[in-house]
Chain A
Amino acid sequence: MDGGEPGLKNRNNMQKIDKVKRDKALELLKSGSDSKLLTHLNACVRCGLCAGSCMFYIAHKQSKFIPAKKVDLVSSVYRRYCTSMGKIAPALVNAKDLDDSMAEEMVDLLFGSCTMCGRCVKHCSIGVDIAYIVRKGREMLSAMDMVPASLQATVDSALRTGNNMAIPTEEFVDTIKWMEEELIDEMGDNNARIPLDEPHKNVFYTLNPREPKFFPLSISAIAKIFYAAGENWTISSRFYDVTNYGFFNGNKEQATVIARNLYDEIHKLRGNVLVLGECGHGTRANRWEGPNYLQKSYDFDMTTAVELIADYIRQGRIKLDKTLNKELVTIHDPCNLVRNGGLLEEIRFVVKSAADNFTEMNPHGNENYCCGGGGGMLAMSEYNDRRLKIGEIKANQIRATGAKVVITPCHNCVDQLSQLNHTYKLGIKIKTIAELVADALVIEK
């Protein structure tokens, strides 16, 4: 874990930027009608006070990891090609050419050194949306075919197969059937089902492909909750993937195709409510970005598993005995659900309803540190060392709470926390919200 420059490992694989590619990238900065883009490209004063809010800088103590540096990569190119001063006297206004060297630096810092968690945004002295500019930089790199191969492979899998882990439909169906049998046994009720591809259901539920692949018990957990609530629900066997790595690779066309998969599938099955499974970026990509990708308002309701479970509790549709969860639990707040999604209170309401013994991390909520696996970092194996190094901050936070269980409503975070648990020998259990609630369920027969 040396915090070196793994992005540069790609150097030999990188195609040189030609004029056509550069023009495509620069076109993304030239939208004269985008007030938000214009604002954030021009607002940074490079005070550097954002450094202490960034996990990469805190963990590595290298100047290049300062968030303002990442903004400057994009804004210096903007100034060079899109402002009069940048064209006439570039040195005076810190304007820089978009050449091979700049593009390589952008790959290393915008893909390999930022989870787009937005912690620096909240703490910026001006209010620059740094994560937004990083995303714009990723779009530029995508336009120049410079997305790290590992991340692009994840997107390609989703485009090719309908899920980012390329799980064959037969394998997925087998897993669901196996979980259904387990559920029927546990509930002692043949009506305890995991319905697949059933039309006209109230809830159209989605999953992170990590669930059928690695964590099938989390599918059982949500199924148990639906059973207890008497919910009318289904999962699609083809398009169940809530994730959208097109949000991370900067390719809006690909992100749109992936978002449309869910949009079309809920229409095909005539579901009422699209319930986004426990996935931070998946929620963000569908709930907040999806309608903008597709350029239309959705004609169905959309909510998250967290909010749905919270509603069940409030409405008395499920009963919980929190003494069934006696161990000390803490919450890891997924950045895309809390700081960038507004679910701070809902998550706490559910966890406090289901656990007897709860403590907060410091800091937490909107101030939380990313687990280190966001922004597509988990998919980009070339940055594994960096990812685990920045994760030490989260590991230390968890250790300081003394908690035995960490709850997080995001399978991406679950994966990173599991690796941190192993690397830093935390000796904790990591659960999703559904798993915690399922363990506290009082099933009335």
Chain B
Amino acid sequence: MCWYHWIAITSLIFSVALFSYQFARLVIPGRPDDLSVSSGSVTKGVVYSFTKAMAPGAKESAYLHMPTYAGGIIYHLGTFLSLVLFFVLLAGFPSLNNPLRTIFSVLLFISFFAGFAILIKRIINKDLKSLSGLDDYISNVVTSLVQLFTAIYLLVPGAEILYYLSVALFFIWLPLGKTKHLLFFFFARYHLGFFYGWRGTWPQKSE
């Protein structure tokens, strides 16, 4: 292992440690206390929250903004693919042959451009720009760079140092910036499912 491998691994440990701390803070309080009498099912509400309520047809944030929604999905898939490939590449996984490398690289170039398009939208859209601060730009850039450098490294082994440094930067920023929604997203869906499930709003019975 070289120094840049260790930097990436150290960053990963930092990220996991911080996420573990945040996870513990979210889990230790346990199930929300509610002294009212439920008229629904929390379990069904939470399941609905993670399934049908997430369907593109159920959310205006999806069906009113299909290009952005599709771009976001591609971008997130690219992020997860990059994370998986980090472990594969670090371990020198033997089955990652040239055709696979090319396919993954193409996919990651596509997801990088999806992320880049989202960044451009944030810069030129008046409403989005008004919502944005450094965190929004940094989060996009570090995530997009990982995808870009993973795509490049898969095809150009000489880009190894740049690749591992971009991964390190990503892991350091992940639990600090808004990228921490990697963890908080799941808890948000849980709490929303709890809220609507408790009151019998979810699962939606009719319509």
Contact = CB atoms under 8 A, between A and B. Distances in A.
Contact of B127 (A38, A66, A124): A66
A287 to B, nearest CB: 6
A233 B128 CA distance: 55
B188 A339 contact: no
Given A43-B187, A123-B61, A129 B195 contact: yes
Given A34-B29, A40-B191, A66-B131, A366 B199 contact: no
Given A63-B127, A125-B72, A341 B201 contact: yes
B134 A91 contact: yes
B49 interface: yes
Contacts of A298: 37
Nearest to A289: B36
The CB with the most chain A CB atoms within 10 A, among B25, B62, B127, B200, is that of B127
A292 B35 contact: yes
B52 interface: no
B187 A125 contact: no
Given A32-B25, A94-B134, A292-B35, A126 B60 contact: no
A344 B40 CA distance: 13
A291 B188 contact: no
Interface stretch (A44-52, A136-144, A261-269, A370-378): A44-52
Contacts of B205: 344-345
B124 interface: no
B191 A93 contact: no
A288 B127 CA distance: 35
B29 A33 contact: yes
Interface in B4-27: 22, 25-27
Contacts of A51: 127
A36 interface: yes
A347 to B, nearest CB: 11
Contacts of B132: 46
A188 B131 CA distance: 64
Contacts of A38: 25-26
A126 B64 contact: no
Contacts of A85: 176
Given A47-B61, A63-B126, A127 B192 contact: yes
A48 B61 CA distance: 9
A64 B130 contact: yes
B39 A45 contact: no
| Chain B interface, DSSP helix/strand/loop, else mixed | helix
A129 B191 contact: yes
Contacts of A342: 39-40, 196, 199-201
Contacts of B136: 46, 94
A45 B136 CA distance: 8
Interface in A35-79: 35-36, 38-40, 42-53, 63-64, 66, 68-69, 72
A91 B135 CA distance: 8
A64 B129 CA distance: 11
A297 B26 contact: no
B176 A43 contact: no
Contacts of B130: 63-64, 66, 69
A190 interface: no
B164 to A, nearest CB: 23
Contacts of B34: 292
Nearest to B33: A292
A49 B178 contact: no
Contacts of A36: 32, 191
Contact of A39 (B59, B128, B184): B184
Contacts of B138: 92
Contacts of A290: 36
A39 B191 contact: yes
A302 interface: yes
A366 B104 CA distance: 41
B94 interface: no
A340 interface: yes
B76 to A, nearest CB: 11
B102 interface: no
A39 B188 contact: yes
Interface string A113-148: 000000001111111110000000000000000000
A42 B201 contact: no
A365 interface: yes
Given A42-B184, A43-B187, A129 B27 contact: no
Contacts of A53: 60-61
B184 A69 contact: no
Contacts of A32: 25
A315 interface: no
Contact of A366 (B28, B181, B192, B204): B204
10 contacts: A35-B32, A38-B25, A39-B184, A47-B72, A48-B127, A49-B65, A63-B127, A92-B176, A94-B134, A365-B204
Given A50-B61, A298-B37, 9 more contacts: A44-B178, A48-B127, A48-B131, A52-B60, A91-B133, A91-B134, A94-B135, A127-B192, A342-B196
The 8 A-B pairs with the shortest beta carbon distances in the complex, nearest first, are: A342-B200, A94-B133, A49-B61, A291-B35, A63-B130, A43-B184, A127-B188, A43-B188
